[in-house]
Amino acid sequence: MTGINHYLVLSLILFSIGVFGVLTRRSAIGILLSLELMLNAVNINLVAFSHFLESITGHIFAIFLIAVAAAESCVGLAIIICVYRTFKDIRADNINLLKW
Amino acid sequence: MSGATCFVDYAWMVPFFPFFAFILISLFTVRNRSLSAFISITAIILSTVYASAILYQRLLDVHEPAVIREITWLTAGTVEFPIGILVNNLSAAMLCMVSFIALIIQIYSTSYMENEEETGFCRYFAFMSLFAASMLGLVISPNFFQIYIFWELVGLCSYLLIGFWYNRPAAASAARKAFIVTRFGDTGFLIGIIMLYMMTHSFSFDAIPALIESYRINPGMIWSIIPGQYLSPDSTISLVTFLIFCGAIGKSALFPLHVWLPDAMEGPTPVSALIHAATMVAAGVYMVAQTYDIFRTSPQTLLIIAHIGGITAFMAATMALAQNDIKLVLAYSTMSHLGIMTLALGMGALAAGTFHLMTHAFFKALLFLCAGSVIFALHTNNIWEMGNLRKSMRVTGATFLIGALALAGIPPFSGFWSKDEIIAVVFASPHLLLKILACLTVFITSFYIFRVYFVAFFSKDRYDITPHEYPVMTVPLIILAIISTVGGFVATPWNNGFAAFLSTDPACEGQSVSYLLPSVIVLLISLFAIGTAYSLYAKDPAHYEELLRLRYKAIYSILTGRYWIDDFWNSIVRVVVAFLSTAASFIDSRIIDGLLVNGSAHLADEAGKYLRFEESGSVQHYAVIIIISIVIILLAVGIIHGFFATELLYGALMR
Amino acid sequence: MITVETVIFYTLSAIIIAAAIVVVRARNIFYAGLSLAVVLTGVAGVFLLLRAEFLAGMQVLIYAGAVIVLILFAIMLTQGIHRFENEPHNRMQFLALLSVIALSSITAFILLVHKWPLPVRKPIIPVWESLNTLETGRILVKEFALPFELLSVLLLAAVMGAMLIARKKGEGNDGN
């Protein structure tokens, strides 16, 4: 019998992996991928609560979240392309003009 | 009576005239000599006239109670600081004496100081006026708060006038020494005033004696010096009165705070006459006399006062023997007589001591002004460079002789009447030491003053300029000489008008029983001393002086070393000042500059040096820091709110 | 007790987590992108488990369909494939791992210890009998109509913004 705790733990693990990726990945696209992981973890969380609390609002929120995530990855990728054109490089630790 | 009482109510006008003169001179007439002198002398004339009027009024209402008017000036919580005026017979007499002598000396000064350049001359009169204002204000103070204010003002004027020729290092350091030594006494005075207020909740002279008696029965406030042991009310009263007397020790140059008075002779001679002979140094004695009822509550303090007076009188007289500077002889003589006055007050002879204060003011001022006349004519202070002046400066010689006779206590001059009252009181008391000291002092006093007279005014002249006298100087001398001659008759043993004037209750004057015997003894001692001085110094003084110095070499060195009390105070001050300055400079340079100022700058510098590496430019780096911060905050909040601990008690963590 | 649901749940979780680890650790960015597709599909399966059918469909359509394609195009456009000779990860690994583990353990503790105020569950209904899609549809056009419309405006803005950012310099108004 899977209770809410199972889904919460799944969501948490997925989120943590996503955070690790965001912090560690050198490529900007890699960071975006990890970001998607985080967003999906949140979605799982929302839908789990929606299921266990008998409320449909969680589903709606998740729908919106998917839409927003799509928009955001669209714009993010556009920015990455732009950066690529400027620096010829998308490694996050090489784009460091604000260094000391 | 109401009309007359009115003008006594305005007795504060007496110090106001010279104060106003000070303001005028210092603001407006600093370049104009004659105008400054005119303003100053006019003001003091007005004060003298007003004071005389007040005295006359008091003579009419001798038995009326004192006129006391007080208003509250400041309040601090429950403490009220009153100011006002006190006009009783003593203060009226003192007002008259102070203003009159100040007038005479200011007239004399117009001639003595004529070689000063303008700003010096005007500055002198400004300060003289300020001093007159301060002293007169002190005389009419009805409470300790006000008298302390004027006490300090008088000390300030003394500083300004001793250091009048401020370009001279000796004068500057003498002024500083005077101020600091009197400060020691004033500190004791202030502590005494504060303790007295804490005991009695009053500053006023007339209210305090009764309050002290009620304190003795029912003490509201007790102190302890050794922790755990509290002072009894009697000891506290003695301590407080002694502390108040400390102010007088400093101001009146009594042992052991007398060291400033000889150095104060660096000032101009009229200043020495006014401040350090007639008025300021008398302020201490005056304060004790005015608050005598307070001292009467503590017989132990009175005993200490008497002994300090006796010791000072003797010591100062001995030191006067070995001086070659005429002003220094007179300075030590002043010190000696102040000791005599203090002795009288300690013995309970209030009228005698106060009368001696009055007569001493006149003849000492006279002696100083004579000395000033000689100094002005010959440009030297050293008696061994003078001689035979009774021929070349007749008026000065004659008046100096009158002054010397008054000092030595020869009838019919004023000194006789005043000093003998005191001697009689001392002889009537059981203290053997004081009697011996008194006799010795009388001998030495006559001896030293006539030594000066014979060396300077007799024998051969030892100078090559012709000395001249000046009328502006000699007329004051004559006036003072006349007063010194006849002034004593107000208080003869048979008809003591002064004592009667001074107090409505007879005080301790019942001791004048054996008046005759002590007077005769003392007179004989004085005449013997004068004779000795004549035989030694009249014909060939240098020879005998050499002889005496060689014979009594040890004593002579003690006297010229001033009993090494000066050195004692100097070493204490040096140690304290050295310690304080080392500590202060250490704190300033190492702690404030080094630690706080430079240290904080250095800290900011180092912090910047290391923290700038955090600016890596890498967003992921910043993100890691954010995550770590979130973890820390979560932990902190959780622990503070007991979240983790209480949840641990639940046990089952996983479903 | 172990039901089918439980088995399916654990299997799906294993797939999701394994693929997620590949996403964050793959040396080759293309493989990372493909693993992301696996994760997204797995998440859609979890949605189905939770009786969110409409959402599962949308997840597959939008995420696993459009977004992955978008990402793969971006990878190709930035020629990222060739660029990682050595370490694809920066110096932060150890520190990031540590902080992530700390954060997740604290959060896990908080989440699991807390007693969620859940209503009593009705007996499990089969998927084909759940009415969530109907509910979703109804809510979207009744209470959440305005946010729905705003969402379309947001998407329009995102598309326009992306076009503006990504166009080449020198291309005037004629670029798309």
pLDDT score recorded for residue B511 = 46
- Separation between Cα atoms, residue B167 and residue B271, nearest integer Å: 17
Q: Which residues in chain B are contacts of A10 at CB distance < 8 A?
A: none
Domain that holds residue A54: 2-99
pTM of the model: 0.68
Nearest-CA residue of chain A relative to B624?
Answer: A23
Q: ∠B434-B439-B441 over CA atoms, to 5°? A: 90
Cα-to-chain-centroid distance, residue A46 = 14
Average pLDDT, chain B: 85
The CA–CA distances, whole Å, from C33 to B6, C11, C28, C37 equal: 112, 21, 9, 7
- Separation between Cα atoms, residue B31 and residue B120, nearest integer Å: 9
| Tokens 């010229």 -> residue | B560
How many independent structural domains does chain A possess? 1
Q: Which positions 5-24 of C are in contact with A (Cβ < 8 Å)?
A: 5-6, 9, 13, 16-17, 20-21, 23-24
B507-513, long-range: CB < 8 A, 24+ apart: B507/B348, B507/B349, B507/B350, B507/B351, B508/B347, B508/B348, B508/B349, B508/B350, B508/B425, B509/B349, B509/B351, B511/B348, B511/B349, B511/B424, B511/B425, B511/B428, B511/B429, B512/B421, B512/B424, B512/B425, B513/B428
pLDDT over 90, % of chain B = 29
Total residue length of chain B:
655
Q: Which residues in chain B are contacts of A31 at CB distance < 8 A?
A: 620
Q: What is the phi/psi pair of residue B87, to 5°?
A: -115, 95
Helix (H) or strand (E) holding B72: strand B67-76
B391-398, long-range: CB < 8 A, 24+ apart: B392/B461, B392/B466, B392/B467, B393/B467, B393/B468, B393/B469, B394/B469, B395/B469, B395/B474, B395/B477, B395/B478, B396/B370, B396/B469, B396/B474, B396/B477, B397/B457, B398/B481
User: What does the pLDDT look like over B68-86, one tens digit per residue?
Assistant: 888 888 888 888 888 899 8
pLDDT score recorded for residue A27 = 82
Which tokens go with B341? 């006055």
> Does A30 contact C at CB distance below 8 Å?
yes
pLDDT score recorded for residue A35 = 94
Query: H-type helices in B291-408, by residue range?
Result: 292-296, 299-321, 326-347, 350-378, 389-392, 394-408
Q: What is the phi/psi pair of residue B543, to 5°?
A: -60, -50
**Closest CB from B613, B624, B627 relative to A100:** B613
Is the pLDDT score of B509 beyond 60? no
The CA–CA distances, whole Å, from B87 to B57, B212, B300, C43 equal: 10, 23, 29, 108
Q: Kindly report the CATH number assigned to the domain that includes residue A57.
A: 1.10.287.3510
Query: Which carries the bigger pLDDT value, residue B34 or residue C173?
Result: B34
**Closest CB from C16, C32, C55 relative to A33:** C32
Please indicate whether, in this complex, the C-beta atoms of A19 and B627 are within 8 angstroms of each other.
yes
Nearest-CA residue of chain C relative to A87?
Answer: C78
pLDDT band of B141, cuts 50, 70, 90: very high
CB of B375 closer than 8 Å to CB of B381? yes
- Separation between Cα atoms, residue B586 and residue B593, nearest integer Å: 10
Please indicate whether, in this complex, the C-beta atoms of B623 and A23 are within 8 angstroms of each other.
yes
Residue to substitute from A72, A75, A87, A96, interface C, most C β-carbons within 10 A: A75
3-state secondary structure of B3: helix
Measure in Å the smallest separation between the Cα of C103 and chain B Cα atoms: 6
Please indicate whether, in this complex, the C-beta atoms of B619 and A92 are within 8 angstroms of each other.
yes
- Separation between Cα atoms, residue B144 and residue B205, nearest integer Å: 7
Q: Rounded mean pLDDT of B588-612? A: 85
Is the pLDDT score of B2 beyond 50? no
User: What does the pLDDT look like over B160-207, one tens digit per residue?
Assistant: 999 999 888 999 999 999 998 999 899 999 999 999 998 888 898 888
CB of B569 closer than 8 Å to CB of B263? no
CB of B655 closer than 8 Å to CB of A3? yes
pLDDT band of B559, cuts 50, 70, 90: confident
pLDDT band of A15, cuts 50, 70, 90: very high
- Separation between Cα atoms, residue B94 and residue B101, nearest integer Å: 11
Please indicate whether, in this complex, the C-beta atoms of A100 and B612 are within 8 angstroms of each other.
yes
Q: Which of B243, B234, B237, B235 is nearest to B288 (CA)?
A: B243
Q: Rounded mean pLDDT of A18-24? A: 91
3-state secondary structure of B504: coil
> Does C119 contact A at CB distance below 8 Å?
yes
Measure in Å the smallest separation between the Cα of A57 and chain B Cα atoms: 26
Q: Which residues in chain C are contacts of B621 at CB distance < 8 A?
A: 92
The CA–CA distances, whole Å, from A80 to B10, B208, C78, C169 equal: 97, 94, 8, 15
Torsion of CA A51, A52, A55, A59, to 10 degrees: -30
The CA–CA distances, whole Å, from B288 to A25, B297, B344, B570 equal: 95, 13, 11, 28
Residue to substitute from B631, B633, B649, interface C, most C β-carbons within 10 A: B631
Using a 10 angstrom Cβ sphere, with 0-12 exposed, 13-18 middle and 19 or more buried, the burial of residue C114 is exposed
User: What does the pLDDT look like over B226-281, one tens digit per residue?
Assistant: 777 777 888 888 999 999 999 999 999 898 899 999 999 988 999 999 887 778 88
Residue to substitute from B614, B619, B627, interface C, most C β-carbons within 10 A: B627
pLDDT score recorded for residue B508 = 45
Query: Which carries the bigger pLDDT value, residue B435 or residue C147?
Result: C147
> Does C50 contact A at CB distance below 8 Å?
yes
- Separation between Cα atoms, residue A14 and residue A45, nearest integer Å: 10
pLDDT band of A99, cuts 50, 70, 90: low
**Closest CB from A12, A24, A89 relative to C92:** A24
Using a 10 angstrom Cβ sphere, with 0-12 exposed, 13-18 middle and 19 or more buried, the burial of residue B259 is buried
Cβ neighbors of B608 (< 8 A, separation 6 or more) are: none
Q: What is the DSSP letter of B515?
A: -
Which tokens go with B247? 């102010």
Q: What is the DSSP letter of A54?
A: T
- Separation between Cα atoms, residue B261 and residue B263, nearest integer Å: 5
- Separation between Cα atoms, residue B257 and residue B250, nearest integer Å: 5
Q: Which residues in chain B are contacts of C100 at CB distance < 8 A?
A: 627
3-state secondary structure of B325: strand
Lowest mean pLDDT among B133-137, B361-365, B535-539: B535-539
> Does A80 contact C at CB distance below 8 Å?
yes
pLDDT score recorded for residue B107 = 92
> Does A95 contact C at CB distance below 8 Å?
no
- Separation between Cα atoms, residue B428 and residue B394, nearest integer Å: 42
**Closest CB from C90, C99, C112 relative to B628:** C99
pLDDT score recorded for residue C20 = 96
One-character DSSP codes across B74-121: EEETTEEEEEEEEE-HHHHHHHHHHHHHHHHHHHHHHHHTTTS-HHHH
pLDDT score recorded for residue B1 = 43
Q: Rounded mean pLDDT of B9-34? A: 88
CB of B181 closer than 8 Å to CB of B257? yes
Q: Which of B224, B109, B181, B138 is nearest to B470 (CA)?
A: B109
Q: Rounded mean pLDDT of B594-623? A: 82
Please indicate whether, in this complex, the C-beta atoms of C90 and B618 are within 8 angstroms of each other.
yes
User: What does the pLDDT look like over B289-342, one tens digit per residue?
Assistant: 999 989 988 899 999 999 999 899 999 999 998 888 999 999 999 999 999 999
Lowest mean pLDDT among A75-84, B27-36, B334-343, B542-551: B542-551
Which tokens go with A6? 């199972």
Q: Which residues in chain C are contacts of A64 at CB distance < 8 A?
A: 147, 151
Nearest-CA residue of chain C relative to B620?
Answer: C92
Q: Which residues in chain A are contacts of C85 at CB distance < 8 A?
A: none
Q: Which of C167, C62, C16 is nearest to A69 (CA)?
A: C62
pLDDT score recorded for residue A42 = 96
Subunits with 3+ Cβ pairs within 8 Å of B are A, C
Please indicate whether, in this complex, the C-beta atoms of C95 and B634 are within 8 angstroms of each other.
no
Cα-to-chain-centroid distance, residue B610 = 65
Using a 10 angstrom Cβ sphere, with 0-12 exposed, 13-18 middle and 19 or more buried, the burial of residue B338 is buried
Query: Which carries the bigger pLDDT value, residue B503 or residue C153?
Result: C153
For this complex, say whether ipTM is above 0.95: no
> Does C136 contact A at CB distance below 8 Å?
yes
3-state secondary structure of A27: strand
Please indicate whether, in this complex, the C-beta atoms of C112 and B655 are within 8 angstroms of each other.
yes
Tens digit of pLDDT at every position of chain C (176 positions) = 788 889 999 999 999 999 999 999 888 888 999 999 999 999 999 999 998 889 999 999 999 999 999 999 888 877 654 555 455 556 678 888 989 999 999 999 888 888 888 887 666 666 666 778 888 888 888 888 899 999 999 999 999 999 998 887 765 555 44
Q: What is the DSSP letter of C121?
A: P
3-state secondary structure of C73: helix
One-character DSSP codes across A55-93: -SHHHHHHHHHHHHHHHHHHHHHHHHHHHHHHHS--BGG
Q: What is the phi/psi pair of residue B32, to 5°?
A: -110, 105
Which tokens go with B641? 């709110």
- Separation between Cα atoms, residue B161 and residue B139, nearest integer Å: 20
Nearest-CA residue of chain B relative to C109?
Answer: B653
The amino acid occupying position A87 is F
Please indicate whether, in this complex, the C-beta atoms of A26 and C90 are within 8 angstroms of each other.
yes
3-state secondary structure of C3: coil
pLDDT band of B88, cuts 50, 70, 90: confident
